[in-house]
Amino acid sequence: MRDNTLELRDDIEKCGYYPDVVADAVMKAVAGERVLSHLVHHEPTIDERDEVRRHMSVLVLTPSRLILAHTDEHAPDDLLPAPYTSTSTEAVAVNAIRSVVVNRMVANPASYAGKPIPAPGANEAVLTIGWGAVGRIDLEPAGCGDPECEADHGYTGVVTSDDFSLRVSAAAEGPDAVADLLGFADALSARTGSPDAAR
């Protein structure tokens, strides 16, 4: 696979959200490895004072790692008297990734058959990646098949790994954003199943 480092930097620049700050943090985390695939997602948020603040996520897949970088915009506060950004990066070994879950929502699915992908493509997609750092437990009361039974059967539940999740909608961000997320998910899924990822 070819190195996509220049495309990564171009996509960060196109986003226009403090590109030098974001690119510096991302490239330091990549640490000279080859960029196999990447995803740049800009998401404005509204803070408790009803002011728009920006959030940017950058995901980078290298031969050995998944890099996740998050940059947030902050108003002046007691910490700093001027507006500032905070960027966190996390590097996860590809062979540590336990699950890559992709949920695609397609409107008018009858018209989807036989069309080239990604067009017409999904209207919305959610990518969830789990590597065991964060687990979620969903519990509910357990029961039995007897409708007359009043015994306490305890609880039953499911433990799911939910370390990172990203939702992209064609209505909000355009169909290219959904296609980009699905392309990154495909590359990550293929890499996590590759014997080379264990090296």
Render pLDDT for 130-177 as a digit per residue (tens, 0 to 9).
887 655 666 677 888 888 888 887 877 766 556 899 999 999 899 899
pLDDT reported for residue 194: 66
Residue 146's domain comprises 101-161
pLDDT in tens, 91-129: 999 999 988 999 999 888 877 765 555 455 788 999 999
Domain count, the chain: 2
Q: What does pTM read for this prediction? A: 0.80
Task: Answer yes or no: do 84 and 24 share one domain.
Answer: yes
How big is the chain by its Cα radius of gyration, in Å? 20
Contacting residues for 184 by C-beta, under 8 A, at least 6 apart: 37, 38, 39, 59, 61, 127
Task: Answer yes or no: do 93 and 189 share one domain.
Answer: yes
pLDDT reported for residue 54: 85
Is the pLDDT confidence value at 187 over 90?
A: yes
Nearest CA to 41 out of 15, 13, 72, 5 is that of 15
Task: Answer yes or no: do 17 and 71 share one domain.
Answer: yes
In a domain, 61, yes or no: yes
Task: Answer yes or no: do 63 and 50 share one domain.
Answer: yes
Task: Answer yes or no: do 9 and 91 share one domain.
Answer: yes
In a domain, 166, yes or no: no
Task: Answer yes or no: do 80 and 27 share one domain.
Answer: yes
Task: Answer yes or no: do 85 and 16 share one domain.
Answer: yes
In a domain, 138, yes or no: yes
Task: Answer yes or no: do 151 and 179 share one domain.
Answer: no
Contacting residues for 36 by C-beta, under 8 A, at least 6 apart: 1, 4, 61, 62, 63, 187, 191
Task: Answer yes or no: do 36 and 92 share one domain.
Answer: yes
Task: Answer yes or no: do 194 and 109 share one domain.
Answer: no
In a domain, 53, yes or no: yes
Task: Answer yes or no: do 53 and 129 share one domain.
Answer: no
Task: Answer yes or no: do 121 and 36 share one domain.
Answer: no
Distance CA 114, CA 81 (A): 57
pLDDT in tens, 33-45: 999 999 999 987 7
